[in-house]
Amino acid sequence: MEQILRNFFLFLSKNKFFTKLAKRYGLRFGAGRFVAGETIQHAVETIKKINEQGMSVTIDHLGEFIDSEEEARTAADECIEAIKAISSHNLDSQLSLKLTSMGLDISYKLALENMRNILKVAEEKDVFVTIDMEDFERCQTTLDLFKELREDYEHIGTVIQSYLYRAAEDIEDLNRYSPNLRLVKGAYKESPKVAFPDKKDVDENYKKIIKMHLLNGNYTAVATHDDAMIEYTTKLVKEHNIPIDQFEFQMLYGIRVERQQELVKEGYKMRVYVPYGDDWYGYFMRRLAERPANVAFVLKGVAGK
């Protein structure tokens, strides 16, 4: 049943009709638990509260299915405004973004131009930017664009997904850039031709790439809600005397909040991924796909309206 629900919500996450409908009707049906609000002002207030609890943030202006150059440039402008807001409010926050929202599906050139405009401001304001990884179809192009940008900019990182067979090879290939990488399991539905179909294999590959990247001496963001992976990481860094400032844990806004606070008390750096914006539908559907408990929460909220 869990796998059926996962596939159902992943299917819905790519539905353009429902995406547009969700934009029209705003943050309803429980999405507010995982999304900080529709504007940068809402997000700023959320970040302040998280910072006060001793946690860092990465902020993401949500956006998918960009159909025009104008939409892509508008999304890039929103990212620039977010960077300026982080700086002006002295927030402990980075920025995350998706290349599809920068116009990648329209043209590589457009996405590259938008990214350069964003990174120019990010370097000026000392705000780090992470390029989120999307589905396998866009993986190689994302990494190609990251490499090109990394030649000119310091304040940039990207994401590697352990459910892809190619993950370890990508870690090794990127090592020459001394990259700051967020390591995740992966949240898209992929073919068994390119991704491990079994969870145990995804988990083992996740451990493998965490160890590879840390032992390469590079900054590592371990983005997981899985206690087994957190425990693996903490044992690994102690065993190899890896500096505590070479890694951090990351979790999603609204999920396992108590565990986030526990990690801070244990002395670890904790970064919360905080999305905002009116294009929240695809992100929300993937959160429902990841965890049945999220579905139960939303149904309870809807019943109570």
What string of DSSP letters covers 196-221? -SSHHHHHHHHHHHHHHHHHTT--EE
What's the Rg (C-alpha) of the chain?
18
Whole-number Å distance between alpha carbons of 244 and 298: 37
> Using an 8 Å Cβ cutoff, are 56 and 93 in contact?
yes
Residue 76: both structure tokens together: 């890039």
Secondary structure (DSSP) of 160-185: EETTBTTHHHHHHHHGGG---EEEE-
DSSP assignment string, 54-111: T-EEEEEE------SHHHHHHHHHHHHHHHHHHHHTT-SEEEEE-GGGGTTTT-HHHH
Q: Is residue 182 flagged as an active site residue?
A: yes
**Bridge-based pairing state of the strands 247-252 and 129-131:** unpaired
Helices (H) and strands (E) in the chain, counts: 12, 8
Pairing verdict, β 181-184 and 156-161 = parallel
For residue 92, indicate whether it is catalytic: no
Selecting among 105, 150, 170, 182, the annotated active-site residue is 182
Q: What are phi and psi of 130, to 5 degrees?
A: -110, 130
First to last CA, the chain: 27
Quote the distance between the C-alpha of residue 35 and its chain's center: 13
Of 6, 60, 105, 132, the active-site residue reads: 132
Residues known to be catalytic = 132, 182
